[in-house]
Amino acid sequence: MMGITTRSLSTSSSEIYELRTYNIHPNKLKDYVSLTVNDFGPRIEKSKPLGFWLVELGGLNQALHIWPYDSVAHRSSVRSELAQSQEWNSRYLSKAGSFFQHMENSLLLSAGKQSPQERILKDCPLYEIHSHHMIKNNWSDSLEDFLNADFSNQQNGVSTLVGAFQTVCGQLDTVTLLWQHKNHDGVASLRRTLDDLHEYKTLRDYSDRINTKVLSPFITSHWK
């Protein structure tokens, strides 16, 4: 049976995270950006995202959000308030729906010892997200070994792992890693660093497929 583990991962808190991915009609991307810049405020007032990005590489015409919540009940409460918000529905939701080709979401738990909110930095120009679909038993051992590995010095501070998550609703047995790059060179240097890291090679051996996306910040938790 997939996903059986011998030890539980260390988690930073009881918070949950919702990962949302939107595929946007190519001829509607400009309209989507304009609407979101001008009229997304009512959503931010209910709760702030960990990050809101447009995909630069690894997918075209896509937007990706990560939303933290105290619990599943907290998420339900926020979604209920939004459904009843006339301002949110009239200003944004009623217009945005026609922009999307496909939408999907998944529910994540943090797999790291430190909350992603405590690590994510303001004004970084580029992010990267890796999704590993795990296929072998006891894969959480390899993930914890990877998270405990010391590879920061190899990156010279250019790239930082700011979030590690495991999926609890959606595509199960999926590990999501969120990286932050201080400059665009971080994308290539991160790949070289990971390819040389024993703990990452082991983690990769537990995966049957890995999807990566390079992300440009659009709206972050610091956006007001």
For residue range 123-140, what is the model confidence (pLDDT) as tens digits?
788 999 999 999 877 898
Asked if residue 173 and residue 130 are part of one domain, the reply reads: yes
User: What does the pLDDT read at residue 1?
Assistant: 24
Of the pLDDT bands very low, low, confident and very high (cuts 50, 70, 90), residue 219 is low
Considering the domain boundaries, does residue 3 fall inside one?
Answer: no
pLDDT in tens, 138-154: 898 999 999 988 765 45
Same domain, 40 and 58: yes
Q: Specify whether 61 is located in the same domain as 157.
A: no
CATH number of the domain at 132, please: 3.30.70.100
| 8-27 tens-digit pLDDT | 344 445 799 999 999 999 99
> Is 63 part of any domain?
yes
Range of the domain at 199: 110-219
Report the domain count for the chain. Answer: 2
Looking at the fold, whether 86 and 116 belong to one and the same domain comes out as: no
Q: Is position 198 within any domain?
A: yes
Decide if 65 is inside a domain: yes
Among 3-17, 111-125, 179-193, name the most confident range: 179-193
Query: Can you give the pLDDT at residue 19?
Result: 98
The residue out of 42, 70, 103 marking a domain boundary is 103
Could you read off the pLDDT of 83-100 as tens digits, one per residue? 999 999 999 999 999 999
Q: Are residues 94 and 121 in the same domain?
A: no
Is-contact 142 203, C-beta < 8 A? yes
The verdict on 133 and 74 lying in the same domain is no
**pLDDT digit string, tens, across residues 18-74:** 999 999 999 999 999 999 999 999 999 999 999 999 999 999 999 999 999 999 999
Would you give the DSSP letter of residue 111?
Answer: -
Does a structural domain hold residue 87? yes
The pLDDT-based confidence of 158 (bands split at 50, 70, 90) is confident
Residues 84 and 165 in one domain: no
| The pLDDT value given to residue 3 | 26
Same domain, 114 and 94: no
56 and 72 in a single domain? The answer is yes
Q: Which long-range contacts (CB under 8 A, 24 or more apart) does 67-70 make?
A: 67/17, 67/18, 67/20, 68/15, 68/16, 68/17, 68/116, 68/117, 69/15, 69/16, 69/17, 69/18, 70/14, 70/15, 70/16
User: Does 99 lie in the same domain as 32?
Assistant: yes
Tell me what pLDDT residue 5 has.
27
